[in-house]
Structures are given as C-alpha cells and as structure tokens.
Amino acid sequence: MSPKTLYDKIWDAHVVHEDANGTCLLYIDRHLVHEVTSPQAFEGLRMAGRKVRAPDKTIAVPDHNVPTTAGREDPKNMTEDSAIQVAALDTNAKEFGIHYYPVSDIRQGIVHIVGPEQGWTLPGMTVVCGDSHTATHGAFGALAHGIGTSEVEHVLATQTLIQKKSKNMKVEITGKLRPGVTAKDITLSVIGETGTAGGTGYVIEYCGEAIRDLSMEGRMTVCNMAIEGGARAGLIAPDEKTFEYVRGRPHAPKGAQWEAALAWWKTLYSDDDAHWDKVVTIKGEDIAPVVTWGTSPEDVLPITAAVPAPEDFEGGKVDAARRSLDYMGLEPGQKLTDIEIDTVFIGSCTNGRIEDLRAAAEILKGKKVKDGMRAMVVPGSGLVRAQAEEEGIADIFKQAGFEWRLAGCSMCLAMNPDQLSEGERCASTSNRNFEGRQGYKGRTHLVSPAMAAAAAVTGKLTDVRDLM
C-alpha cells in the first residue's frame, strides 16, 4: 500500500461515495451545533419535511450569545434577539431529539470545549460544526472543520458532507520551547510565517518535538487557529497523551470497545515516506512570546519588537497595514511594550481551558490588576469553571481584581453584552483581531493567557518573561 498521511487515512475511512471528478460524499461522525449558525438549517429541514438522520451523533450547546453573568437562565436577562436564538436552539434540540446542554447545565460551555470534555471528540473521527474554530478538535487526530449553514443542514439531513480532498501540509516545530513561550505563541508564529492565506487549500498536520511536548489543552490551542492560517483543518497525530485525556470521559468507549478503538487509534499517524504538498519547519527555540499589532492574525511580532511601518510590506498589504495602524491607533516605531491596555480578556475556545487559567493564575498570584483596568476571565465551560474553583485558581483571579464569569464565547466575538467600547484596547486570549470583532471600533491584541495576565498587572503589553 502506498504511504499515507494521517489526513489521508482518516479521509479514506470516511468516503461514502466518490464521483468521477473526485468529489466525495464524506461521512460525518460528530456534528456539533450552536445557536447562531443553526436556526436557518433546522428551518430548512422543517420546510422540506426532513429529519435529522443521526440525532445520536448530533450535539447542541448555546454559547455565542449567552450572557456570562448570573441569572442568565432567565431569557429576560438576554437581549430579545439573543433570547430568540437560544430559544430556537432549545426547541430544535427537543423537536429533533439531539443531545443538548442548556445554559442551566454545568456541562454547558463553548462548543469546542464541551465536545472534547464530554468525550464526543475521539481520534480518527470526522467532526464538523457551523463554526470555523471546529479545527480545535484536530488536536485529537480527528478531521475537524467548520461549515456554513447550508452544509449544517446537509449534515443534519444526510450525516454526510460533499467534499473534495485538500492537499497535505506539514508544519513541524522542532526542539524545545523557551520559558514563557506557549502553544498560543506557536500557533500565532506559524500564521506570522505563512500568512492568513498560507494554508488555503490544505489540511495542516502539526508535528515535531515541541508539539509532542504540549498537553492536550495546548494542542487544542494550536489546532484552533489553523483556520486563521487559512487551512481547512489542523491535525495532530494521537499518542499516549491523547488516549489518557480521552479515557473515562462520559462518551468515550469503554471495556472491549475501548481496546478495539485504541488498536485503531494507534495506526493513526503519517507514514514515514508519505507525500507532503507543502512543508514548513520552525525551530521551537526561535519562537518568542508574541502579540499582534494589527487587524489580521498574521500581524504578529515578538513582544520585544516595535510597531512596523506600512512601507515595510509589499503589494496590497501596504494599504492594509496603513488601515490597520490607523484603526489600532498605533505609530510605526512605537515599542510594543509601550502600548497601554484598557482591558484584559481571558477565555475563548483558543484559551479557555483549565491549563490556560492555571498559566494566567501563575503570573497573577499575589499581584493586582493595574488600577482603572477592566479584567475578565470567562472559563470555557461550566466544568472548567468548577475545576478552577476547586483548585483555588478562581480565588487568585478574584483577589487580583478579575471578574469571574460564567462560561460562553463572551468577548471573543462580543455577541453578548461583553463588548469593547469605541477605542478601548484589549489584550485578549481569543483568536481574531479583526476590526470590530470585540466591539465596534474596539482594538484587540492577541496574546497567550500568561501574556494577558502580565498585561493586566502592568497595564501595558508586557513581556511575560519579565514577571517570571
């Protein structure tokens, strides 16, 4: 048999039908659903008199819209349009008989955190969701990607997706990371290197010692932002750490099924002589704690650098950089560490897991948020929140002056009341620094949780290594 990549193996195991021109019908093992991109899909089913083909493989949770403050079970505490979307999900989940975690359930949280936490996401699966950050689940060696609402409807009706195979790209991070450097810095640095369109047309497999050394949480952070690099999906081959994470989760296989699953999972790696269409190699030692300065995730620089000038770029990027600097209110040549911050947001499906909260708390221990700043932690799920409370991390945040919120997407995309105001500048652990992403004319600098905590303490973008 010819050598295969991990992506090839998962793909081949899920092809239901292939047309002469290579268009495939791909079987979907898990379909995750949230309130924003699904109402029109369920409505479409209803209008066509169709059912959900595999309700037992379909999992829904409200996350994008929900407030993260107490009393949110009461729709009166939501804006009217948010309440309508959440109520639509409630109704659709019941009517179509799919798994559902309402806001009142402690297991509720960001869909990409809930899936792995509950053991819905397993190695070798195909996982889709009407959300681009579905790439997160690739950390388990699952082929996971975002889809649009028409495709959500297609998966609901047929449990398949019409797909053409992407190309294979390998991103290798060799060696060890230096102290203060985290998974977030890896993933941002890769995008800085390849650009936001560098992965377009590819599925990326991340590998190398620095990736192997990451925890499952860290691997999820890396894969989460594969989409920001333009890739359809990001993948990491499963290993003992993956199996350990999965073992015992509510929906993970048990007993003899566990053994059978494990035997297959252990075959899920790229063969030595597999073909790669593109390879990017970065030395782990070369990665520094990074921040974004502009309004595209590719606008990444080490925290020790200075704001670039538009003339430093070429082609269409010159104008884009000029527009970014204007939007961000920054001057070329300004040191990044001189940029003052108004708000710190720790959370999102990129960095809302327990390890992320631990990393931030480690920096915050015994320190205070700088006077006059707003600082907010939004755990990725109710269970992450409960664990952080048990570990005493919640107390560290609260004592430092952070708001300790309920789980949801929150200020990652600011569809709920957690928003930046005009000109407000935020160090955020989320994944997108687009114009208006965190609030109209809000200014976002993407950073790791440790760097966000450091910024909260000093009131400026800060090299976390100075506080370690």
Partner 1 sequence: MDKFEKLTGIAAPMPLVNIDTDMIIPKVFLKTIKRSGLGVNLFDEMRYDRQGNEIEDFVLNQPQYREAEILVAGDNFGCGSSREHAPWALKDFGIKAVVSTSFADIFYNNCFKNGILPIVLPQDAVDVLMKDAEKGSNARMTVDLEAQTVTTSDGEVFSFEVDSFKKHCLLNGLDDIGLSMEKAGSIDSFEQKAAQARPWV
Site map (CB under 6 A) of ligand SF4, residues 50-69, x = contact: -------------xx-----
Residue pair 345/448 in contact (Cβ under 8 Å)? The answer is: no
Of the two residues 133 and 184, which places its CB atom closer to ligand SF4 in the complex?
133
Minimal distance in Å, beta carbon 416 to ligand SF4? 10
DSSP string, 371-418: TT-EEEE--SBHHHHHHHHHTTHHHHHHHHT-EEPPSS-GGGTT-SS-
Q: Check binding of 110 to ligand SF4 (CB under 6 A).
A: yes
Rule CB under 8 A: which of 65-124 touch partner 1? 65, 79, 81-82, 84-85, 88, 122, 124
Among 57, 112, 310, smallest CA distance to 223 is for 112
Site map (CB under 6 A) of ligand SF4, residues 7-46, x = contact: ----------------------------------------
Cα 117–123–126 angle (5° rounding)? 95
**Residue 349 binds: one of partner 1, ligand SF4, none (C-beta under 5 to 8 A by kind):** ligand SF4
Of the two residues 86 and 464, which places its CB atom closer to partner 1 in the complex?
86
Q: Check binding of 467 to partner 1 (CB under 8 A).
A: no
Pairing state between β 403-404 and 443-446: unpaired
How many residues bind to partner 1 according to rule CB under 8 A? 79
- Residue 97: HSE in the Cβ half-sphere, 13 Å Cα cutoff: 6
Among 295, 348, 351, 428, indicate the residue that binds ligand SF4 (CB under 6 A). Answer: 348
Q: Check binding of 378 to ligand SF4 (CB under 6 A).
A: no
DSSP string, 214-255: S-HHHHHHHHHTTGGGT-SEEE----HHHHHHHTT-TTS--H
**Residue 405 binds: one of ligand SF4, partner 1, none (C-beta under 5 to 8 A by kind):** none
**Residue 108 binds: one of partner 1, ligand SF4, none (C-beta under 5 to 8 A by kind):** none
Among 8, 63, 153, 185, indicate the residue that binds partner 1 (CB under 8 A). Answer: 153
Q: Which residues does residue 306 pair with via DSSP β-bridges, in sequence order? A: 335
Among 178, 241, 249, 323, indicate the residue that binds partner 1 (CB under 8 A). Answer: 323
Of the two residues 63 and 153, which places its CB atom closer to partner 1 in the complex?
153
Residue pair 217/247 in contact (Cβ under 8 Å)? The answer is: no
Among 149, 215, 334, 337, indicate the residue that binds partner 1 (CB under 8 A). Answer: 149
Within 8 A by CB and 6+ apart from 101, the residues are: 59, 60, 61, 107, 108, 109, 114
Rule CB under 6 A: which of 197-256 touch ligand SF4? none
Of the two residues 130 and 289, which places its CB atom closer to ligand SF4 in the complex?
130
Q: Check binding of 23 to partner 1 (CB under 8 A).
A: yes
Rule CB under 8 A: which of 369-408 touch partner 1? none
DSSP string, 85-147: HHHHHHHHHHHHT-EE--TTSTT-B-HHHHHHHTT---TT-EEEESSGGGGGGGGGT-EEEE-
**Sheet containing 99-100: which strands, arranged edge to edge?**
99-100, 58-60, 30-33, 126-129, 143-146
Rule CB under 6 A: which of 403-422 touch ligand SF4? 409, 412-413
Residue pair 379/387 in contact (Cβ under 8 Å)? The answer is: no
Of the two residues 41 and 321, which places its CB atom closer to ligand SF4 in the complex?
41
Orientation of helix 216-224 relative to helix 183-194, angle to 10°? 30
Minimal distance in Å, beta carbon 220 to partner 1? 18
Rule CB under 6 A: which of 130-189 touch ligand SF4? 131, 133
How many residues bind to ligand SF4 according to rule CB under 6 A? 13
Quick one: DSSP state of residue 306? B
Q: Using CA atoms, how far apart are residues 467 and 87, in angstroms rounded to an integer?
A: 45
Instruction: Read off the amino acid at residue 464.
Output: V
Which runs of consecutive H residues, i.e. helices, occur in 132-215? Answer: 149-158, 183-194, 209-212
Site map (CB under 6 A) of ligand SF4, residues 424-453, x = contact: ------xx----------------------
Rule CB under 6 A: which of 62-101 touch ligand SF4? 63-64
Q: Check binding of 205 to partner 1 (CB under 8 A).
A: no
Chain residues in the site for ligand SF4 (CB under 6 A): 63-64, 110, 112, 131, 133, 348-349, 409, 412-413, 430-431
